[in-house]
């Protein structure tokens, strides 16, 4: 019977070597986990059963449904109408169009639950306008990429759904916890873009705020505006669960895009379904093998070993926060956000609980780390989406996004020091 250290070396060392060899993450997890099962003398039938049980989960239905909702609403004209409303709300301000980009990202984030999807949807509409108004290409791309990160913070967030399934924490509670931080970061980014535009000498927009234009935009986009209201209102009021809300979002988007706006054709719907299946299939492989990987860790009490090791170094929760955030920031450079949540949640959840950190609070900081990962090369998914839209180099957009990354780190420090920003809503309303 191998000891804890041997299994830990196989799991972590083997995974690291395979990732460095550029073996796809799903296969890396499968090989490392399977090796640990074999060395431990456990039946591979147990591993196969774990694969099946992991994907046979009702709450996971929400993930492909929110993907589908976001893709359909992008192709069906809902995202463009949300951008029009945002643009009508902010006019005649220095950097107004950049501020509109962040506001539009906040609107679309309340539908898509995905960072890259939000970047693609809003950037496709906003980047040409930003370049036309003489925004530097790298700066325009950085604004769009940063706005897209709100897609995983503002509910409904796919990352929070995955975290809730793994930890057993209420997904509704997680959505409530993310609402105020998401709004705080979004409003903060709007003000930060204004400051950055002043520093860079971006001129004030020619348009001026006009209430009549705002009303016209709202009337044209009322069905798009209603989408996040229906989704979040239904969850918080208890009319439907987060999983059911994903189905409602997808069906609502299809009906509005196909039969009201008439911008989504049957072929477009089929392409949206195929894209959703492709994304979900890749995620499903990682989800299945990472669950078996996590079960081996639990079997050999490796999270407890890690917790004891960290607490032998320090019991100060702020030092624990610092160590975890540094690690997650580094991993965000080489690993996508969903993989981080799936792999590292079972490892760090026992650690933070042992030092008195609330699992709901930890979820918000974890997701904010994942946001930053969208902006850090060499992976930086949002950077590559925005870079293609702005037609700029990776160097240009990477330099331009540095101030935004520093701003997000500042927001992370605020949320760590003031946990009630995250905990007030779920503690108030879920305790009723």
pLDDT at 158: 86
pLDDT at 411: 96
Q: pTM of the predicted model, to two decimals?
A: 0.83
What is the SS3 string spanning the chain?
A: CCCHHHHHHHHHHHHHHHHHCCCCHHHHHHHHHHHHHHHCCCCHHHHHHHHHHHHCCHHHHHHHHHHHHHHHHHHCCHHHHHHHHHHHHCCCCECHHHHHHHHHHHHHHHHHCCHHHHHHHHHHHHHHHHHHCCCCHHHHHHHHHHHHHHHHCCCCCHHHHHHHHHHCCCHHHHHHHHHHHHHHHHHHHHHHHHHHHHHHCCCECCCCCCHHHHHHHHHHCHHHHHHHHHHHHHHHHCCCCHHHHHHHHHHHHHHHHHHHCCCCCHHHHHHHHHHHHHHHHHHHHHHHHHHHHHHHHHHCCHHHHHHHHHHHHCCCHHHHHHHHHHHHHHHHCCCCHHHHHHHHHHHHHHHHHHCCCCHHHHHHHHHHHHHHHCCCCCCCHHHHHHHHHHCCCHHHHHHHHHHHHHHHHHHHHHHHHCCHHHHHHHHHHCCC
pLDDT at 16: 82
pLDDT at 432: 45
Could you state, in chain order, the average pLDDT of each consecutive group of 10 residues for the chain (432 residues)?
77 83 81 85 76 75 82 83 79 78 87 79 83 88 92 89 91 93 95 90 66 83 86 83 86 92 92 87 78 78 76 84 89 79 86 90 94 82 84 89 95 96 90 52
pLDDT at 293: 79
């Amino acid at each position: 019977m191998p000891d804890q250290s041997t299994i830990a070396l196989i799991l972590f060392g083997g995974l690291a070597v395979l990732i460095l060899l550029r073996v796809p993450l799903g296969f890396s997890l499968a090989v490392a986990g399977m090796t640990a099962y074999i060395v431990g003398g456990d039946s591979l039938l147990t591993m196969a059963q774990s694969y099946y049980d992991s994907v046979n989960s009702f709450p996971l239905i929400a993930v492909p449904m929110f993907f589908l909702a976001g893709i359909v609403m992008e192709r069906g004209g809902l995202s463009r109408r949300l951008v029009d409303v945002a643009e009508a709300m902010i006019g005649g301000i220095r950097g107004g169009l950049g501020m509109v980009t962040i506001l539009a990202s906040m609107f679309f984030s309340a539908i898509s639950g995905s960072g890259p999807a939000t970047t693609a949807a809003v950037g496709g509409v906003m980047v040409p306008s930003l370049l036309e108004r003489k925004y530097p290409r790298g700066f325009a791309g950085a604004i769009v990429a940063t706005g897209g990160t709100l897609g995983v913070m503002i509910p409904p967030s796919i990352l929070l759904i995955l975290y809730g399934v793994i930890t057993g924490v209420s997904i509704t509670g997680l959505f409530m916890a993310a609402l105020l931080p998401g709004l705080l970061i979004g409003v903060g980014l709007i003000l930060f873009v204004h400051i950055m535009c002043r520093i860079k000498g971006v001129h004030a927009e020619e348009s001026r705020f006009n209430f009549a234009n705002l009303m016209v935009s709202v009337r044209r986009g009322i069905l798009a505006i209603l989408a996040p209201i229906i989704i979040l209102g239904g969850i918080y009021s208890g009319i439907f669960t987060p999983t059911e809300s994903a189905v409602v979002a997808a069906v609502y988007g299809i009906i509005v895009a196909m039969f009201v706006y008439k911008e989504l054709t049957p072929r477009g719907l089929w392409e949206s379904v195929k894209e959703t299946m492709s994304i979900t299939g890749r995620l499903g492989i990682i989800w299945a093998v990472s669950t078996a990987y996590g079960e081996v860790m639990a079997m050999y009490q490796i999270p407890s070993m890690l917790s004891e090791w960290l607490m032998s170094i320090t019991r100060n929760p702020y030092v624990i926060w610092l160590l975890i955030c540094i690690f997650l920031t580094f991993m965000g450079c080489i690993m996508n956000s969903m993989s981080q949540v799936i792999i590292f949640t079972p490892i760090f959840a026992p650690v933070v609980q042992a030092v008195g950190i609330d699992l709901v609070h930890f979820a918000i900081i974890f997701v904010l780390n994942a946001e930053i990962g969208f902006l850090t090369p060499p992976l930086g998914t949002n950077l590559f989406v925005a870079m293609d839209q702005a037609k700029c180099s990776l160097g240009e957009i990477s330099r331009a996004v540095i101030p935004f990354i520093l701003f997000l780190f500042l927001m992370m420090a605020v949320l760590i020091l003031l946990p009630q920003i995250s905990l007030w809503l779920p503690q108030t309303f879920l305790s009723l």
